[in-house]
Structure 1
C-alpha cells in the first residue's frame, strides 16, 4: 500500500474490503472449539509471522520510537487484546447478530472521544448517516436480544469489548500521526498477543495439542479479518478520521448475519435484510458527506 491514493473512491473500496474481511471473524470463532483467549492470541501472533518478511524493509522505523510511543503502543495493544477476549467470548453466549449489533455503539463512542481529544466534528448529514445505520443495526439484532440468561451475559461482554476497541481506535488515531502503518500494526499486534499469552498462562490454557483444523482457523483469522480487516483499518486512520473508520462496524452486522445464515444456519428474516440496506445506506451517507473533513492524502505512506 505504498502508492498514493488519488481519490476517495480508492479509499472507499479498501474500506469495503475491510468490512467484508472483519465480518468473517465471528464465523471463524464459532467454528473453533479452542478457548477464545487462545484463538485471539494465535490470531495475532500468526499475523505477525506473516508480516515477518517485511520487517527488514521497515527495520529502521520499527525501533525509531520514543518512550512515550512505546507506552501508548502497549496501551493500544492491551485494549485490542481486551476487545478480542470479550467480544470473542460473547459469541459463545449469544448470536452473531446480537453480538455484532452491539459493536455499532463503537462509532458513537469514537465520535465523542474524537471531539473531546481532536476537536473532530461531524456535520448534520454525517450524523443522519450514523443514525440510519445504527437504527438498521438494532433491527437486525433486536430479535435476538434477551434480558436474561446467557444471552444477556454475552451481550454485556460484547458491550465492554466495544468500549475497549473504541479506546484502541482513539489511541491509534493519535499514534498514526507519528508512526507509519507497518510498525504501528506490528507492535500493537505483538503487545496484544503477548498480553493474551500471559492471560492464557494464568488461566492454564494449553498452547499446543490442537487439531490441524484449529490451526487452520487460527491462520484464517490472521489472514482475513486481521490483515485485510484490522491492519487495513489502522492504515486508513492516516487518511480518514477515527469516527469514519469506526463506522466500518456498522456494516459488519449485515455481512456477518448473512454469513451466519449461510454457514451457521442462524435465522435471518426479510425484515432484517431490509434493515441491512438501511445500514449500508447510512454508512455510505456518513462517508459521502464526511469526505471533506478527511485530511488530504500524503505523498507517501508505508
Structure 2
C-alpha cells in the first residue's frame, strides 16, 4: 500500500488535465518573444515568485527558517541547474522545431532514472529498461531526421538534450531535498535562485533587462502564469494525492500538445522522422511509466525507487 490516503478537494483528473494543457504552451510563448531567452527566464521566475509570495507566510515561513545549512547548498544547486535547463532548452527553440525540442525534453524521467540508478542505487526493472531503450532510439531517429535538415536543427536538438540533462540533475536534487523540505518552500527558494542566476547571466552578457514593449511583458507574465503556476505548481500540489508516476505521464502531453500548437500557430509541419521517432519516445516512456506505477504500488521495502514528478519546460 502507498501512503497517498488524503482525498483531494477536486477530482485529480481535472487539475492534471489543466497542467498538461498549460505546459504545452511554454514553447509557444517562448517563440512569441523577441527578448533573449535568459531575460524571458528571469522575468518568468520573478513573476512566479510575486504570485507565490502571498502564500509564503505562516507554516511555510517557519519551514523556511528551519532549513538546514546542508539543504541550503542543495537548494542553491537545484536553482542553478533549473536556470541552466531553461537557458539551454529555451535557446533550442531558436534552432530546431517545437516538435523535436519537446520530444527530447520528454526524456527527463528517463535521465532521472539513470541518475538515480548510479547515485542512489535504485533498481532498474526489465520493463523500465526496455522503455528506456525505446525512448532513446526514438530520439536518435528524430536526430537523424533533423541532421538531414540543417546544422541549426542539430544544434537545437543538442541544446534541448543538454537542457534535459540539466533538469534531470535538478530533479535528482529535488528527490533528496523534498524528503525534508515542503514542496512550496522548495519551489519558492529554487525559483528565487534561478531568477538570481539569470540576472547575473544577463548582467554579464550585457542584455537589457527592462525597457521592453508591452507585448514582451505580456509574454513574460504568461510564461509565469500558464506553464509555471498552472503547470508545474499544480503538479507539485498533486503529489500529495496521486502517484508520482501518474503525474510524470504529463511529460507525454507536452510534445503532443506543443507540436499541434506549433503546426496551427507557426505552420511547423511534423515530418516523418519526427512522427516515427515520437512514436518510439511515447511508447518507451509509457512502458517506463507503467513500470514505475507498478513499482510504486508495491510495499515501500520492496520498491526499487519512487518516481519524481515532472519539471519540464
User: In the TM superposition, what is the alpha-carbon distance from 1:228 to its structure 2 partner?
Assistant: 2.8
Cα deviation, 1:170-201, whole Å, max 9, x if unaligned, reads 00111011111100000000000111001111
Contact 1:106 1:246 in 2 (8 A): no
Task: Identify the residue that residue 111 of structure 1 maps to in structure 2.
Answer: 113
Contact 2:246 2:289 in 1 (8 A): yes
Contact 1:101 1:138 in 2 (8 A): no
The structure-2 alpha-carbon separation of the partners of 1:170 and 1:247, relative to structure 1 and needing over 3 Å to count, comes to: farther
Q: 1:195 aligns with which of 194, 197, 202?
A: 197
SS in 1 for 2:196: helix
User: In the TM superposition, what is the alpha-carbon distance from 1:279 to its structure 2 partner?
Assistant: 5.2
Q: Following the alignment from structure 2 to structure 1, what is the Cα–Cα distance between the partners of residues 289 and 176?
A: 21
User: In the TM superposition, what is the alpha-carbon distance from 1:102 to its structure 2 partner?
Assistant: 2.2
Task: Identify the residue that residue 65 of structure 1 maps to in structure 2.
Answer: 67
The structure-2 alpha-carbon separation of the partners of 1:116 and 1:139, relative to structure 1 and needing over 3 Å to count, comes to: closer
The structure-2 alpha-carbon separation of the partners of 1:30 and 1:44, relative to structure 1 and needing over 3 Å to count, comes to: same
SS in 1 for 2:123: coil
Task: Identify the residue that residue 149 of structure 1 maps to in structure 2.
Answer: 151
Task: Identify the residue that residue 159 of structure 1 maps to in structure 2.
Answer: 161
TM-score, length-normalised on structure 1?
A: 0.83
- Does residue 1:125 correspond to 2:106, yes or no? no
Cα deviation, 1:67-119, whole Å, max 9, x if unaligned, reads 11111100000000011011111111111122222224433321111112233
Task: Identify the residue that residue 303 of structure 2 maps to in structure 1.
Answer: none
User: In the TM superposition, what is the alpha-carbon distance from 1:163 to its structure 2 partner?
Assistant: 1.4
Contact 1:169 1:246 in 2 (8 A): no
Q: Following the alignment from structure 1 to structure 2, what is the Cα–Cα distance between the partners of residues 234 and 168?
A: 14
The structure-2 alpha-carbon separation of the partners of 1:16 and 1:175, relative to structure 1 and needing over 3 Å to count, comes to: farther
Q: Following the alignment from structure 1 to structure 2, what is the Cα–Cα distance between the partners of residues 146 and 201?
A: 37
The structure-2 alpha-carbon separation of the partners of 1:277 and 1:25, relative to structure 1 and needing over 3 Å to count, comes to: same
Contact 2:143 2:157 in 1 (8 A): no
Bigger shift: 17-26 or 52-61? 17-26
Q: Following the alignment from structure 1 to structure 2, what is the Cα–Cα distance between the partners of residues 83 and 65?
A: 25
Q: Following the alignment from structure 1 to structure 2, what is the Cα–Cα distance between the partners of residues 224 and 51?
A: 14
SS in 1 for 2:223: helix
SS in 1 for 2:208: coil
RMSD, matched Cα: 3.3
Q: Following the alignment from structure 1 to structure 2, what is the Cα–Cα distance between the partners of residues 73 and 206?
A: 28
The structure-2 alpha-carbon separation of the partners of 1:12 and 1:288, relative to structure 1 and needing over 3 Å to count, comes to: farther
Q: Following the alignment from structure 2 to structure 1, what is the Cα–Cα distance between the partners of residues 281 and 20?
A: 12
Task: Identify the residue that residue 209 of structure 2 maps to in structure 1.
Answer: 207
Q: Following the alignment from structure 1 to structure 2, what is the Cα–Cα distance between the partners of residues 228 and 94?
A: 26
Task: Identify the residue that residue 300 of structure 1 maps to in structure 2.
Answer: none
Q: Following the alignment from structure 1 to structure 2, what is the Cα–Cα distance between the partners of residues 20 and 206?
A: 32
Q: Following the alignment from structure 1 to structure 2, what is the Cα–Cα distance between the partners of residues 139 and 71?
A: 39
Q: Following the alignment from structure 1 to structure 2, what is the Cα–Cα distance between the partners of residues 96 and 223?
A: 20
Q: 1:289 aligns with which of 280, 283, 291?
A: 291
The structure-2 alpha-carbon separation of the partners of 1:80 and 1:271, relative to structure 1 and needing over 3 Å to count, comes to: closer
Q: Following the alignment from structure 1 to structure 2, what is the Cα–Cα distance between the partners of residues 266 and 155?
A: 16
User: In the TM superposition, what is the alpha-carbon distance from 1:212 to its structure 2 partner?
Assistant: 1.4
Q: 1:226 aligns with which of 222, 225, 228?
A: 228
Contact 1:251 1:280 in 2 (8 A): no
Gaps of 5+ in 2: 301-313
